[in-house]
Chain A
Amino acid sequence: DAGITQSPRHKVTETGTPVTLRCHQTENHRYMYWYRQDPGHGLRLIHYSYGVKDTDKGEVSDGYSVSRSKTEDFLLTLESATSSQTSVYFCAISGGTDNSPLHFGNGTRLTVT
């Protein structure tokens, strides 16, 4: 596996609480992504980053924010968790060319009660 670590691997939290998921890479890749995976929806892009402090929204960004203060770390924050954000979250990284594939972390299973 590519050097991608997601933490925590599992989390249960209550509605209305803030939650931060962390993605750490050791590949020095430029691009980093956050996806969520839900049955029937495949993978949906939440936010992505194309460099330190350079981020952009994906197709399901409402309720989420991100930060990238250094190349190796990409944080996803749910400001006030809702039950609809119960999902499996995947971080992915990619090199600097458009034909570079994505490499995925092993995911974080988040349950919002």
Chain B
Amino acid sequence: AQSVAQPEDQVNVAEGNPLTVKCTYSVSGNPYLFWYVQYPNRGLQFLLKYITGDNLVKGSYGFEAEFNKSQTSFHLKKPSALVSDSALYFCAVRPSGKFYFGSGTKLNVKP
């Protein structure tokens, strides 16, 4: 069965500090990997994706993600968090036509 795990329901970080939101997956084949962000009362917004090649992917708003094939992980990172980064973050994988989502991680960035 295909699955995506985001082990932390919530991540707290101080503004200016680096942040990491974790994601691991268990799917067949070599899926495409995605990160999305959701602000209150809005749909999810695409942040970045991994297709192939460089294991460090850069995306919108200064976010990046590190792909690790041996650990089947795709962690979201940012070198310096902003209060405005506070939101709900979802990891997703796409082994074929369907997308599979993690349960989401709430990021709280405190001033």
Residues of A within 8 A of B (CB): 1, 4, 31, 33, 35, 40-45, 48, 50, 58, 90, 92, 94, 98-99, 101-107
Additional A-B contacts beyond A98-B94, A99-B94 (14; CB < 8 A): A1-B43, A31-B97, A33-B99, A43-B90, A45-B99, A48-B97, A50-B97, A94-B99, A98-B32, A101-B34, A102-B34, A102-B44, A103-B46, A104-B36
The residue that B44 contacts in the complex, of A40, A45, A50, A104, with Cβ under 8 A, is A104
Interface size on B, residues (CB 8 A): 22
Chain B nearest Cβ from A83, distance in angstroms: 22
Q: In the complex, which residue of chain A has the Cβ closest to the Cβ of B33?
A: A99
For A58, the chain B residues whose CB sits under 8 A away are 98
For A106, the chain B residues whose CB sits under 8 A away are 41-43
Q: A99-B49, A106-B42 are in contact. Are A48 and B103 (CB under 8 A)?
A: no
| Alpha-carbon separation in the docked complex, A106 to B96 (Å) | 25
Chain A nearest Cβ from B47, distance in angstroms: 9
- What are 8 contact pairs spanning A and B, CB under 8 A? A31-B97, A42-B101, A43-B90, A48-B98, A92-B44, A99-B32, A107-B42, A107-B43
Residues 15-63 of B at the A interface (beta carbon under 8 Å): 32, 34, 36, 41-46, 49, 51
Q: A42-B103, A45-B98, A45-B99 are in contact. Are A99 and B51 (CB under 8 A)?
A: yes
